[in-house]
Amino acid sequence: MANSRIKSFAEIGSGQTMGLSAPSLLTFLLSFVIMLSVLFAKFFGATIPGLTGDTTQFAGLLVAYMILTLGCLIRSL
């Protein structure tokens, strides 16, 4: 066999690493409050305007997760 050396992570790609950081407290709390409101509307029958159907509850959870994801990817959030 020719050169069957395994490349390290530093040798693969352009050498740039993904800069993940912990989200700020405000970002985390915002996504947590949205998630809790959806769960209360779904499982405990709370009446929250805008979170009445299954589709809007899924969209609410998706928004909460996207806020948390952006908070980890973008340092200023």
pLDDT in tens, 5-37: 665 555 555 666 667 788 889 999 999 999 999
Number of domains in the chain: 1
Please give the pLDDT value at position 77. 62
**30: in domain:** yes
The residue range of the domain holding 66 is 20-73
Element (H, E) at 43: helix 25-43
- Which pLDDT belongs to residue 7? 53
Is the pLDDT confidence value at 4 over 70? Answer: no
Say whether pLDDT at 64 is over 90: yes
The reply to whether 6 falls in a domain is no
Of the two residues 75 and 15, the one the predictor is more confident about is 75
In a domain, 11, yes or no: no
SS3 letters for 2-40? CCCCCCCHHHCCCCCCCCCCCCCHHHHHHHHHHHHHHHH
**Measured CA angle at 41 (ends 35, 46), to 5 deg:** 130
Distance CA(58)–CA(11), nearest Å, equals 41
In a domain, 2, yes or no: no
Q: Does 12 reside within a domain? A: no
